[in-house]
Amino acid sequence: MSESVHELQSRALAQLDAIWDNESVEAWRVEYIGRKGAVNALFEQIGALPKAERGAFGKAANELKNALEAAFQAKVGAIKQRALSEALEAEPLDVTLPGRQPARGHVHPTIQTLREIYKIFGEMGFQVYRTRQVETDMMNFQLLNIPPYHPARDNWSTFYVAGAEEKVLLRTHTSPGQIRAMRAGYPNPVRAILPGMCYRYEQISARYEIQFNQVEGIVVGRHITFGDLKGTLTEFARRMFGARPVRFYGDHFPFTEPSAQMDVRCIICEGKGTDPLCKYTGWLEILGSGMVHPDVLRNGGYDPNEWSGFAFGMGPERITMLKHGIQDIRYFWGNDLRFLEQF
Ligand code: PHE
């Protein structure tokens, strides 16, 4: 009997040796080690044997089963390996070819500018502070010296939030953050920038968007002067735009007194006044600024007899446009990769 087990093993292995495709190897498995295969048939014979032979026969059958299963696994692996080598030879891989560059995302140009602004003011000791985009009329206007029906409201066309009991709106500028930063800071000095999204009810055009960023700045201390304003903002312009002349030009905001816009020399015409970018003035307006109005200091919790401060507000989209000569503000929300990929 043991002899026939041995023969069965030789026959099966010889057959397997010659097999090199998946279909035949599967047929082989069914024939020998499948549920109704030759090996299981041997096990079924055990019962019919004399008791004394059963042990040895069972052991031999088990060894056969293990040997055939191992051979089967090895064969399956070998077939896979051979198929792979054949494929590689049929279409050779040139490992010296440069790889395909996966498309990389870009940081949005506005965010790049914002990060530059954070860095510059961060190095000057400013904290970054964020306040809400949905504001009350009180914060956005009244505490900034702009009562209801004040003509200056025309400068900030407003989206109102329907259904609120108090007048609620999408902030039209980051200046309400001045009040919030002062109230959070009192009685300590304040030195913070407040970046964030603002909204205005505008006809969208190359120059106006209904949604844009601003960065507000507020400094409050015991002896803050207009010289501090000029020095801080001139240094900001130097780091942002390189060494080029700046000027402070009279302006008006209800919440600062006196007020000034800061201009830098036109990056195209260099002051000659020959380019539409600067509207032929030779200067580009960069930001609005001024000394914090005494009423506003008071609304922030500070006694204007002891404290003074300056504030400023700038638009990162506008700054990005000036730096790169971008002609149309609508690109910033256009999601056009041909635009975004340039930055
Ligand atoms: N909030 C003003 C605007 O939106 C800018 C500004 C901020 C001016 C702070 C002076 C001081 O135009």
How many angstroms separate the Cα of 92 from the Cα of each of 78, 85, 95? 20, 10, 9
pLDDT tens-digit map of 243-256:
999 999 999 999 99
In the listed set 90, 118, 140, which residue is the last one of a domain according to the structure?
A: 90
| Same-domain check for residues 144 and 255 | yes
Maximum Cα interatomic distance, the chain, rounded to a whole number of Å:
118
| Same-domain check for residues 48 and 150 | no
**Tokens for 317?**
């989209």
- Helices 51-90 and 2-17 pack at an angle, to 10 degrees, of 10
| Mean pLDDT (whole number) for 143-157 | 93
Cβ 311 under 6 angstroms from ligand 1: yes
pLDDT tens-digit map of 278-298:
899 999 999 999 999 999 999
Enclosing domain of residue 334: 109-340
| Same-domain check for residues 247 and 305 | yes
| Same-domain check for residues 42 and 123 | no
| Dist CA 182 CA 299 (whole Å) | 9
Q: Is residue 97 part of a domain?
A: no
pLDDT tens-digit map of 73-96:
999 999 999 999 888 888 878 889
Residue pair 195/130 in contact by the 8 Å Cβ criterion: yes
Cα(324) to ligand 1 centroid in Å equals 23
CB proximity list for 326: less than 8 A, separation 6 or greater: 320
Cβ 288 under 6 angstroms from ligand 1: yes
Confidence of residue 14 (pLDDT cuts 50, 70, 90): very high
Cβ 312 under 6 angstroms from ligand 1: yes
Which atom of ligand 1 is the closest one to the Cα of 214?
4
Q: Is residue 62 part of a domain?
A: yes
Cα(178) to ligand 1 centroid in Å equals 10
pTM across the whole model: 0.73
List phi, psi (to 5°) of 219: -130, 125
| Same-domain check for residues 25 and 127 | no
How many angstroms separate the Cα of 321 from the Cα of each of 18, 135, 168, 264, 335? 74, 28, 31, 14, 16
Residue pair 313/289 in contact by the 8 Å Cβ criterion: yes
The verdict on whether omega for the bond into residue 187 sits within 30 degrees of 0, i.e. cis, is yes
No. of helices (H) and no. of strands (E), the chain: 12, 9
pLDDT at 3: 58
CB proximity list for 72: less than 8 A, separation 6 or greater: 16, 25, 28, 29, 33
Residue pair 195/154 in contact by the 8 Å Cβ criterion: no
DSSP string, 80-112: HHHHHHHHHHHS---TTSPPPPPPPP---HHHH
| Same-domain check for residues 157 and 248 | yes
Closest-CA residue, ligand 1 atom 6, reads: 313
| Same-domain check for residues 183 and 281 | yes
| Mean pLDDT (whole number) for 163-174 | 91
| Same-domain check for residues 84 and 118 | no
Which atom of ligand 1 is the closest one to the Cα of 173?
4
Q: For 9, left (φ over 0), alpha (ψ -120 to 50), or beta?
A: alpha
| Dist CA 55 CA 126 (whole Å) | 89
- Helices 51-90 and 38-45 pack at an angle, to 10 degrees, of 170
What single DSSP character describes residue 186?
T
pLDDT at 141: 97
pLDDT at 222: 97
| Dist CA 183 CA 96 (whole Å) | 64
| Same-domain check for residues 147 and 267 | yes
- Domains held by the chain: number: 2
What single DSSP character describes residue 126?
P
Closest-CA residue, ligand 1 atom 7, reads: 313
Closest-CA residue, ligand 1 atom 9, reads: 312
Cβ 313 under 6 angstroms from ligand 1: yes
Burial 105-131 (b: 16+ CB within 10 A, else e): eeeebbeebbebbeebbeeeebeebeb
The CATH number of the domain where 244 resides is what? 3.30.930.10
| Same-domain check for residues 309 and 163 | yes
Q: Is residue 95 part of a domain?
A: no
Closest-CA residue, ligand 1 atom 5, reads: 313
Cα(313) to ligand 1 centroid in Å equals 5
Q: Is residue 249 part of a domain?
A: yes
